[in-house]
């Protein structure tokens, strides 16, 4: 699907992000690996969603990449205090910018016990890295975007962060861990298709490992974050 974007696209160069965060702090929204591998120095982690985008595995160069266009995408937003905002911004540019562009869009917080629409919670402007069709790594042929083709690519793929299947299962378990009880339909459909491609029992074992890895990763990140915030 072509990108139909709400929010304000900004060239990743320079320090344009500061105009969106005049207090010097930074809010970052993660819809992929940032959910289970948070940025350093955060002092708040808030589950929720952004509007105007959809999660898709349509970046060819890296199977662990995701793209977003029209729809709603769930993930986690992180607040970075002003003391570390510039450092974390540069870290994220290095980690995320290959094949992505920077956008600024409202993030809608969600907490367990609140309504799914989270209308009682004020939106927060967040920085987010988005894959777009203008990116040369973007999968432009619609025929190759069919879910079964994408599942085959994930099953066979290896990226900088490891196996494509490992990334998919980590994403599935991370989304479930946000308090929603499930991942989004696109992710659960891909999980089902990839399991059918893999050897019997292999997918289930990778899922179990992914769930444990998500818990360990988040626990470690939280412990480090608490240490950062102790004065």
Which one of 64, 66, 96, 206 is the catalytic residue?
96
- Please tell me the predicted confidence (pLDDT) of residue 66: 47
72/230 Cα distance (integer angstroms): 35
- Please tell me the predicted confidence (pLDDT) of residue 64: 36
**Tens digit of each residue's pLDDT, the chain (231 residues):** 222 233 334 444 456 889 999 999 999 999 988 999 999 999 999 999 998 888 887 765 433 344 445 578 899 999 999 999 999 999 998 887 666 788 899 999 986 655 444 445 789 999 998 877 776 667 667 777 788 988 888 888 776 667 889 989 999 999 998 877 677 888 999 999 999 998 877 888 888 998 999 999 999 988 888 776 554
* Domain 8-226 coded CATH 3.10.490.10: yes
Each domain of the chain, given as residue ranges in start order, spans: 8-226
- Please tell me the predicted confidence (pLDDT) of residue 189: 92
Three-state secondary structure string covering the chain = CCCCCCCEEECCCCCHHHHHCCCCCEEEEECCHHHCCCCCCCCEEEEEEEECCCEECCECCCCCCCEECCCEEEEEEEEECCCCHHHHHHHHHHHHCCCCEEEEEEEEECCCCCCCCCCCCCCEEEEEEECCCCCCCECCCHHHHCHHHHHHHHHHCEECCEEHHHHHHHHHHHHHHHHHCCCCHHHHHHHHHHHHHCCCCHHHHHHHHHHHHHHHHHHHHHHHHHHHCCC
Told to judge if 86 belongs to the known catalytic residues of this protein, a careful annotator would answer no
pLDDT digits (tens, 9 = 90+) for 201-215: 788 888 899 899 999
């Amino acid at each position: 699907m072509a990108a139909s974007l709400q929010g304000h696209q900004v060239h990743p160069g320079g320090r344009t992000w500061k105009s969106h965060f005049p207090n010097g702090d930074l809010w970052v929204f993660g819809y992929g690996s940032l959910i289970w591998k948070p940025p350093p120095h955060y002092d708040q982690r808030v589950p929720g969603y952004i509007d105007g985008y959809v999660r898709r595995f349509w970046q060819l160069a890296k199977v662990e990449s995701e793209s977003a266009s029209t729809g709603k995408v769930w993930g986690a937003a992180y607040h970075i205090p002003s003391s570390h905002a510039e450092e974390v911004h540069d870290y994220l540019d290095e980690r995320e910018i290959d094949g992505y562009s920077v956008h600024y869009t409202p993030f809608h917080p969600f907490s367990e016990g609140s309504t799914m629409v989270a209308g009682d919670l004020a939106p927060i402007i967040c920085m987010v890295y988005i894959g777009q069709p203008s990116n040369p790594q973007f999968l432009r042929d619609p025929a190759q975007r069919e879910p079964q083709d994408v599942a085959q690519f994930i099953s066979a793929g290896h990226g900088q962060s490891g196996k494509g299947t490992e990334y998919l299962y980590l994403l599935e378990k991370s989304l479930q861990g946000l308090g929603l009880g499930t991942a989004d339909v696109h992710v659960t459909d891909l999980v089902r298709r990839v399991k059918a491609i893999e050897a019997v029992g292999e997918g289930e074992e990778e899922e179990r490992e992914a769930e444990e890895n998500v818990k360990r990763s988040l626990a470690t990140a939280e412990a480090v974050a608490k240490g950062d915030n102790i004065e």
